[in-house]
Amino acid sequence: MRQTPAQRHRMHSLASQQAAQHEADNAHGQTVGTAYELQLAQLHQHRLRLKDMHSVERKIEAKRAMLPEYDAYVDGVLQARPGTQDDVLATVLVWHIDAGNYTRALEIAEYALASGIKPPDQYNRNLPTIVQDEVAEAILAGKLSGADALQVAAKAMALTDQADTPDQAKSKLYKAAGWAVLGKTGSHDVDMATRTLKACKEALPLLQRAMELDTRAGVKKDIERLERRLAKPQAK
């Protein structure tokens, strides 16, 4: 059931007041309190509904419908920034990625990563790895393109570049960033001769870094094509 405006306002107030109290009394501990417990109960019910679904597409559609019910709580936490472990916020972050809401996901990730928040136990990757993997997959698959892909890739890289993540995950994000600059996806190749010199110069070091991190990144041919393109400076 969707929350009424009054319910959303109350949840936002409860979350921000509760988070502020944690900041004073329970820094770096586990989030507790009325707002958190209510959202945990809601999350439990939503997970039960998702568990009964077999279609990934249906699960994504369901998550899109469920996510607004957490907005007031999340906004309250982001306002107070208590820095405590929060399974609701971590799960909602991942669900926003699943739903394709990358800007909202990275807004939450900026706080979660700075606070050292960990994903719930059912996730077998740490949070920065999830961000790198999922953002990269979205760009490489063409779910994100154009200016949106460039902005999301840059934000994800800024948030996770210093994090301790597998080289393969970091490599994939660099590859995705390079492809975003070129306008390339897994199903849409590009002719480097049609790319501007500026785009080629920006993409090359990103793809080279991807190759450094993982020699099997699948960017060797792109690098060779870019190097040939840049060897002709008279081209536009």
pTM: 0.85
Helix (H, G, I), strand (E, B) or coil at 29: coil
**4, 66 contact by CB (below 8 A):** no
Q: What is the mean pLDDT of residues 66-90?
A: 93
Percent of the chain at pLDDT > 90 equals 78
Q: Is the dihedral of CA 99, 102, 106, 107 positive or negative?
A: negative
Q: How much is the mean pLDDT over the chain?
A: 89
CB 124 within 8 A of CB 154: no
3-state secondary structure at position 33 = coil
The answer on pLDDT for 220 being more than 80 is: yes
CA 14 vs CA 52, 79, 162, 165, 197: distances in Å: 31, 12, 34, 35, 53
3-12, 70-79, 117-126, 206-215: least confidently modelled range: 3-12
Q: How far apart are CA 110 and CA 20, in angstroms?
A: 18
Helix (H) or strand (E) holding 46: helix 34-51
The answer to whether residue 93 scores a pLDDT higher than 60 is yes
Residue 60 predicted with pLDDT over 50:
yes
The whole-angstrom separation of Cα 107 and Cα 116 is 15
Neighbour-count burial for 91-104, b at 16+ CB within 10 Å, e otherwise: bbbbbbbbbebbeb
Taking residues 180-204, what's their average pLDDT? 94
pLDDT in tens, 99-144: 999 999 999 999 999 999 999 877 889 999 999 999 999 999 999 9
Query: Given the structure tokens 């600059």, which residue do they identify?
Result: 181
Q: Closest Cα to residue 156, out of 210, 203, 103, 197?
A: 103
Q: In the prediction, which pLDDT does 7 show?
A: 59
19-52 pLDDT, tens digit per residue, is: 555 554 454 577 777 889 999 999 999 999 999 9
CB 34 within 8 A of CB 18: yes
